[in-house]
Every structure is written in structure tokens, then in C-alpha cells.
Structure 1
Amino acid sequence: MPRTEPPASAPARHAAVPQGRWSRSLHLGRLAGELLAGAVATGAGQLARGERPSWAGSVLTPGNAQRLTERLAQMRGAVMKLGQLMSMEGQDVLPAPFAELLARLRDQAYAMPATQLADVLEREYGQGWHQRFRHFSFAPIAAASIGQVHRAETHEGEVLALKIQYPGVRASIDSDVDNLGLLLRMPGLTPPGVALDTLLAPLRAQLQAETDYAAEARAATDYRDRLGDMPELFVPRVNTAHSTAHILAMDFAPGQALATLMQPGVPQSQRDRVATALCRLAVREFFDMRLVQTDPNFGNYLYDADTGRIGLLDFGAAQAVSDARVAQLRELGRALRQAHRARTHEAALAVGLVHASDTPAQQTAVVNLLLTVGEPLRTQGPYDFGASTLVKEVFQQGQEQFLASGYGQPPPADVMLLQRKFMGTFLLCARLGARVDLGEVFGSALDEDAR
């Protein structure tokens, strides 16, 4: 028998993953009712104080933020993935209680109870599954939207991280996304100007990809080979002998969550170095490797303080990039670096960020937004993300565009994911309060003679 930690050592936050369309729909129905009740109570309180009720303000309250995050954390799957996206992309945009509570969803989902976990392990490995390990820890290292991670040691002395997929998550994707669309159409829950169909379509596709662990294993191996030897970065090796359709086994990666670098007392130089390494990685992924991990949230990185290296995790959202797309976005980057309006407009048309069928006002607004986003490329020396108000400025411009002229056609799905990678990386820099010389980082990749 291998050594195992008793289930009691697992985190106190545990709940069985709800399975089946009806069960999951019921959870979302309860959530909608809870949010509505909270909004009504808040509005009644505003009236009692002689204030004019605001529906949006009644929905986006601390109480509703708590209700939303708790229910998403219990459900996991597609609904929690959306919460993770909101936590990453809503920083400095959503009200503080929502941003802070949704941030917990990056790595603090409810864990499966030991009985459900044991059922999954027996289904994947067969009866007597524990005999394949010298040691298995029932306490998860992390619990996220698609699965939870456990540490195990083989009889040969290999230390592994086992990513174990929650039961029923893949089968529930379509119904979850459909129900999410209904929930998010509640007034005040989604910021004005967000096209839900545009948001949910790539979410559906991404979840289908992320629940295919065989494809993720291939992507992780391919990514590791293409990355090669980089002193500050490493990718754990896939262990095929202990991987199945719903368990992905990889070498155990030491380190702590990247969010620990946000704590007081962390030297500025350390935060700058990590942020610069992640920016260099994004540039290398796109321009050299042509394979981009498009989900840059904090939970997908580990920082090893002993070596200073960053472990790269989770390749379910890895996306290959065509030569044509690289050429188009390289041209857009050059135009933004020059702040050349006409060139930016032509590049945006080629990429699909604007379309000829969009109104002149819509096209102008998108170009203005792009030129604002390109500010760090035009800064001489390090760009101070900690002091920048760029995220708020971009959001405000987006709001103004929605109110004035609305949005035209959405960009292609692959462009949306690549856009998320670069903007997400910039947001990581902002959360770290880092200073990064992006002109130097992007420099050679945007040179006119670059190939």
C-alpha cells in the first residue's frame, strides 16, 4: 500500500461536482434567484434612504459578488471558467468587491470530496489504483475550473502532479454555456457594450479544447520542444504512463503562485524581472514558436524563489499561429509603435479588428482604441505598469464607443484569443506593478526587415 494523506487533510472548501444538465441548470437557476433577491433588497434600501435606485448598482454589490463567486466555485466547469476570465479582464473595471472575490476563482474552487475523487481515480486507473503509487496526497495542490491537481510519487521515485478532471464537466459544456448566456443577460450583471455571443462562443470552444487531456498532453510536449532552453522558464514533462483521458500526469513543478509576488516587501527588481520574462515569452511564442498559450491568468504560472525560474502550466488553450497571421499582426505592431493612424487602420482591416462594413464612426473608434493600447510600445525605456491608467482608459474608450456608435462585427476567434494573450500579459504586468521596457522586448520582432 502506498502512503496516502487522509481525506481530512484536504481543504475545508469541498463539495461534490454537480453532474447532469438538470442538476447544473438548477444551480444556475438558484444563482439567478439569489442575485435578483439581492438586487431587490438593495434597491429597497436605497428607496428607504430617499435615494434613486440604480439597477446596475443593485446587482453589482458586495453581497451579490459573494453569492456569485460561491456558486461558481461550487459548480466549476464552464461557469467557473467565465468567472476566471472576469477576474483577469475585469481588474480596475468591475467594482472592487467583484474583482477581489472573483480573483479567488483562479485557484480556490471547491475540491471534490474524497469519495468522489476516489471514484474518478478508480474509473480512470481501475480497481487497486493506489498500488501504482508509493504515495498519493488526497489534499489537492490546486482546485480550478476544469479539474484539481494532486501530488503523487511513483515507486521509481518520480514526483508527479496529477491534473484530475472533474466528472461530467466535458459533457456539460454546451448546456452550461447556454445557461450562462441566459444568466448574463440580467440587466446590470454584464458591463454595457459586451457582446455576449462574441464572448461565449470562444469560451465554448476553449472549454472543449481544455477538457481534451490527450490533446493538451501533445500540446505541452510540442510547446516544451519549441521553447527549448530558457534560463528563467521551464515546462514540466508529460508522463504518459500515468496519463489517461481524464488525468494528465506531469513532472511536479516546484514553486508558489505568481500572485505571491504582489505581496508587500517583494523587491521591485524581482517583479520587473518576472514581468519582463513573461513579456519576452509572449513575443517568442507568437513570432518565433508560432504556438501561443492563450490563457495568461496567474494560476498558470509558478514562481520558484530558490531558482528564480517560472514554471509554465496548463496548455489546454495552446493555439498554433499561421505565418499569415504573424505577418498581419507584425504590421499592426509597427503601425502602433509609430502611432501612424492610416497604417493602423489598414492593419486593423487586414487582421479583422475592423471591417469594411462597419460604419466610419465604428472604425475610427477601434483605431483610437488600438492607438491607446499601443502606448507602451512608444515609451522610451521601461514602461511603469504600476503607475499607468491604461486599463481604465481602454475601458472608458470602449464604453464611449458603445454609447456613441456601438460595435461592428467581432474579430475572428483566433484573433480574440491572441488579443487576450497580449492584453492578459500586460494586465499581469499591471497587477505586479512592474516596469518593463516593451520597446526593447518587441524591438527586433517588429523591425521592418523581420521575417
Structure 2
Amino acid sequence: MDDPASFRGLPVPSKRWSRLWHMGRATTDMAVGIGVRGMIELARARGENPSRVRMSPEATRRVTDRLARMRGAVMKMGQLMSMDGTDVFTPEVAEVMATLRDRAEPMPIGQLAQVLDAELGADWNKRFQRFEFTPIAAASIGQVHRAETRDGRRLALKIQFPGVRESIDSDVDNMRFLSRTLGMMPKNMDVGPMLDETRRQLHREADYLAEADAMEAYRALIGEDPDFLVPEVHRDLSTSRVLAMTFADGISVDRLRDTSYTRAERDRVASLLTRLMLRELFEFAMVQTDPNFSNFLYDATTGRVALLDFGAAQPVAPPVVEGFRLLGRAALADDPAGLREASIALGYIAADEPPERIDALVGLIRLSSEMLRVEGPYDFGTSNLSERVFNHGRNLYLEDNFSRPPEPATLFLHRKFAGTFMLCRRLRARVDLAGMMRELLA
């Protein structure tokens, strides 16, 4: 056991009004950091090359500090915003925001001990010959500790923050209140179904026994794959708030952009994860929908990628899979009529919408699928596609072309797609996405 006295952390706020206060402070810090001119630019920017929003690094640190302390549903939304902030914020600010991916504040030793006592019993320490009280990672819902059992198993223990599960409903309600109060959504858009799906998914992520089931199911789907590793669940040390798994070595895949790794390694890992994303949808019908880069560890010694965190894994209904098949085939064929049919089938737009709205959405999807009209590897490193899609989509949004949010069934799939492409961009990788799609849709 290491010395618990050497570790300190910040307690997790668990009461609704306490969390609302922290959220309000984070919102205020962001508004102050952007300033009046920045808020106007963010709301009104038009054209292909609008100015990026400039928030001072000091203000950004205050925002990320606040979200990192809150953990839970609020931090998870901040993580999503941080994954490719370069499209909105300056590179300097985006780099600070990116720390949210793996820098949640750990809980203090007192809260950690309370969770372990409640979940594994008061004598839990007797089951380990080594337990590192300093966490090796802390995320939005829990933190991870390295441990070794008396019988020699090297484990990673994911331990849930106290009060996070109980605060999910209030966090989502607070987000609903703030999104309306701050005008973050079009007036006519009903975000209720989308937030209800967010609420459902977060409750599932907070149930570690459900995650253990998903991890074992996914491990069976992957099988003995030479490119991927899914850690084994250790049920004797797992509960609804503690998840024990075999320890996996490696670095977060986005660190492959460091100069010590080759272009071939970056291309290979980005291609592996892109192909896996497509297999999840079209072959497994089960998608791990959290694209946080730290959920994928690259082991340079073996060349394998370890897949972590299956709290957000979920099955995909056959009609949704078929809708994306239609969409993929239409995109490969550059078929506007097929894109329109698939968009209606997936619930992106209603068949009786005005023709100009349907055409606007089809145009956005066609722009987004540019990489499928390229023969051979698409070079994410030289592409500005994400900026063009972001700017075009934002303009359509501000012009009220979107009268409905995405169907809840596709909400978290979009998160996975976007996260995978953001990784390809971050690694400046070359990926033959069109070839992969043709093979899987044949």
C-alpha cells in the first residue's frame, strides 16, 4: 500500500443547488473570458473564415477547474466541447480546454475510503498486497487506481465518485434550464427527448455492473484480435460502483502525434479505430459511444490498442443500422436523392419539411461525406473539412434551418463518429475510409 496521507483531492459537490452554483460560476467565467465582442462573434459569425473566439488562458483555466471539480454529467459535456476546440477557440485556449479529457479532480482519501468500505467491505484492504491511493486517471464519473491482489492479479480499479449517480437528474435539469436561459438552443427546438436520452445514458454509465456486462459482451465480439485488447472483468472485486479489470499498458492514442512516433504508426492506429467504428455499427450492432481519446491506449511494444470504458456501449436497433447503410451507400454514390431518403429514415428531417430545408440538410451531409468521394486514403492532416462543416452547420443552425434535434437513438452515435474523425485529424492521419465503407456495405 502506498501512503494515503501523501494524497489530497477535492470533495465532489453532490447537492443540486451546490452543483447549479458551480455551473453558474463556470458559465460566468466563460462569458467574462470571451468578452462582449467574442460573444457577439460566436452568435453572429458568418462566412467561410470567421474569427475564432478568443478567451484568455486564465479564464479558460477557471472554467476547466470548475468543471473538473464538479465531475458528473456537466464535466462530460465539457469534455465533448474540448475534444476539438480548435474550430471555435484559438489553439492556445483549445490546448487548455483539452486538459478536461483526463484531468477531473480526484476525490479526497476520506471519500475514497467511504466508497471502498461500502462496496467491498471494511476489510477491503486485506484483499490487496498493493493498492495505489494516488489515482492514475480521473474522469467525469470515477477515478482509476492501480492495484495488485494477494493472488498476484494486476488490476485497474475504477471507483465511482460519491453522489455522481444521484446528481445526474439534477445536472440534466440544470443543463436544460441554462440552455434555455442563455439561448443556447433555437426557440422552436424541443430538446426534451435529447436530454432524456442523455439522462438515460448517464444513468447506464454510472452502473458499473452494466458496464461489466457490456465489456464482456464486447470482448466476445472482438475475440482474439491481434490489433485490439479488451481487459478482462474481475467479478469478485466488482460492484455497481467499483469495476475491477485487468491492467492494460499503453499511452492515450492522441499522444501518437508526438515526434517519437512515425507517420506509419499514426496512420495504422487511426485506420484501425476508424474501421472498428464501422464494424461496431454495421457488424456488431453494438457501439462504444464515448470517443474520449484516453479510452484507447496504444502499446508500442505489442502494437495493440487497448479498449477501455464500456459504460457508454449500447446496442443499435436494426432500423437504425439499416438507415445508416442507406446513408453510407448514398454518400459513396454521391446520390442526393438517396441522402434525402436516408435522412428521413433516420429521423434527421421530416418528409413534409419545406424543400429548401431538406436541400439544406442534404447539402450539409454531402459536405460532411467529402472523404467518401476520394479514391484511396483521405489525408486528415491537410484537410480543413471540419472547419467547413462546422461553419456551414452553424450558419444553418443560426438561420433556423434545424427545427428538430437528432433522434435520440442516433445522438450518441454522432458523438462516436465525430470523436473518431477528430482523432484522425489530431494524428494528421491518412485513412482509406471509402475503401472501408465499400467493403463493409458490400
Q: What secondary structure is seen at the aligned counterpart in 1 of 2:83?
A: helix
**Residue of structure 2 equivalent to 1:381:** 376
Counterpart for residue 135 of structure 2: 140
Unpaired runs of 5+ in structure 2? 43-52
Q: Distance in 2 between matches of 1:266 and 1:250?
A: 28
AA matched with 1:286: L
Distance 1:431 1:195 in 2: 32
Partner of 1:238: 233
Is the 2:285–2:317 Cα contact (8 Å) retained in structure 1? yes
What secondary structure, in the 3-state scheme, does the structure 2 residue paired with 1:372 have?
A: helix
Instruction: Summarize the Cα distance change of 1:57–1:378 in structure 2 as closer, same or farther, 3 Å threshold.
Output: closer
SS in 1 for 2:233: coil
Q: Post-superposition shift, 1:420? A: 2.1
Please state whether the residue corresponding to 2:87 is helix, strand or coil.
Answer: coil
Q: Determine if contact 1:142/1:150 at 8 Å carries over to the other structure.
A: yes
**Is the counterpart of residue 6 in structure 1 residue 21 in structure 2?**
no
Question: What aligned pairs does 1:309-328 form with structure 2 within 5 A after superposition?
Answer: 309-328=304-323
- Tell me if structure 2 keeps the 8 A contact 1:65–1:97: no
Shift of 1:103: 1.2
Structure 2 residue identity aligned to 1:342: A
Q: How many residues align?
A: 430
Contact 1:233 1:309 in 2 (8 A): yes
Partner of residue 28 from structure 1, selected from 23, 26, 30:
23
TM-score where L is the length of structure 1: 0.89
Match of 1:251 among 246, 250, 258: 246
Task: Give 1:162's match in structure 2, choosing from 157, 160, 168.
Answer: 157
**What's the offset of the Cα at 1:98?**
4.5
- Which amino acid is 2:3 matched to? P
SS of equivalent residue, structure 2 residue 152: coil
What secondary structure, in the 3-state scheme, does the structure 2 residue paired with 1:443 have?
helix
Where do residues 270-285 of structure 1 align in structure 2 (5 Å cutoff)?
Answer: 270-285=265-280
- CA distance in 2 between partners of 1:137 and 1:263 (Å): 28
Q: Can you list the C-alpha shifts for 1:271-298, whole angstroms capped at 9, x where unaligned?
A: 0000010011111111111111011120
Alignment of 1:366 with 2:350, yes or no, is no
How far does residue 33 in structure 1 lie from its aligned partner after superposition? 4.5
Are 1:361 and 1:405, in contact at CA under 8 Å, matched by a contact in 2? no
Displacement of 1:357 in angstroms is 3.5
Q: How does 1:254-273 map to 2 (within 5 A)?
A: 254-273=249-268
CA distance in structure 2 between the aligned counterparts of 1:438 and 1:31, rounded to whole angstroms:
38
What corresponds to 1:49 in structure 2? Answer: none
- 1:359 Cα deviation (Å)? 2.3
Matched, 1:410 2:416: no
Query: Which residue does the alignment assign to 2:59?
Result: 64
Alpha-carbon spacing, 1:90–1:32, altered in 2? closer, same or farther (3 Å): closer
Identify if the C-alpha distance between structure 1 residues 70 and 379 changes in structure 2 by more than 3 Å, giving closer, same or farther: same
Tell me what 1:55 maps to.
Answer: 39
Q: Deviations over 1:297-343 (max 9, x none)?
A: 20211111111110001111111122332222111101001111111
C-alpha contact 2:30 2:55 (8 A) present in aligned 1: no
Which position in structure 2 is the counterpart of 1:391?
386
Partners of 2:306 and 2:281 in 1: how far apart? Answer: 19
Instruction: Give the residue type in structure 1 aligned to 2:124.
Output: W
CA–CA distance in structure 2, aligned partners of residues 149 and 96 of structure 1: 29
Q: CA deviation at 1:91?
A: 4.1
2:82 to 87, 92, 100: 87
**What is the SS of the residue equivalent to 1:139?**
coil
Matches within 5 A, 1:276-355: 276-355=271-350
Deviations 1:22-52 (A, max 9, x none): 322232233344445556xx45xxxxxxxxx
Measure, in 2, the Cα distance between the counterparts of 1:363 and 1:135. 60
1: distance between equivalents of 2:185 and 2:5? 41
- Matched residue type, 2:306: G
Identify if the C-alpha distance between structure 1 residues 94 and 224 changes in structure 2 by more than 3 Å, giving closer, same or farther.
Answer: same
How far is the alpha carbon of 1:256 from its aligned partner?
1.2
**Runs (5+) with no aligned partner, structure 1:** 44-52
Q: Secondary structure at the match of 1:152?
A: strand
**Which one of the candidate residues 88, 101, 104 is aligned to 2:99?**
104
Q: Measured at CA, do residues 341 and 310 of structure 1 come closer, stay the same or move farther in structure 2, by a change above 3 Å?
A: same
In 2: Cα distance, 1:118 partner to 1:57 partner: 47
Distance 1:151 1:394, change over 3 A: same
Deviations 1:95-140 (A, max 9, x none): 4354322211111111111122112111111212100111100011
- Rounded Cα–Cα distance in structure 2 between residues aligned with 1:15 and 1:403: 39
In the alignment, which of 421, 425, 432 is matched to residue 426 of structure 1? 421
Secondary structure at the counterpart of residue 5 of structure 1: coil
Q: Does 2:129 align with 1:131?
A: no
Per-residue CA distance 1:5-32 (angstroms, 9 max, x = gap): 113554x7x3111122232223223334
More off after superposition, 326-335 vs 137-146? 326-335
Identity of aligned residues (%): 48
Alignment partners' CA distance in 1, 2:76 and 2:129: 33
- Classify the secondary structure of the residue corresponding to 1:281: helix
Residue 22 to residue 429, structure 1, CA distance change in 2 (3 Å): same
Output the amino acid matched with 1:276: S
- The change in CA–CA distance for 1:177 and 1:444 in structure 2 (over 3 A counts) is same
Deviation at 1:219, TM superposition (A): 0.6
Letter in 1 for 2:39: W
CA deviation string 1:160-214 (max 9, x = no partner): 11000000001101111222233445659x5989968266443322211100111
Name the amino acid aligned to 1:398: G
Which residue matches 1:50?
none
- Return closer, same or farther for 1:200/1:99 CA change in 2, 3 Å cut-off: farther
Cα distance change, pair 193–103 in 1 and its aligned pair in 2 (3 A) = farther
Q: Distance in 1 between matches of 2:112 and 2:434?
A: 48
Please tell me the root mean square deviation across aligned C-alpha atoms, in Å. Answer: 2.3
Change (3 A) 1:355 1:300: same
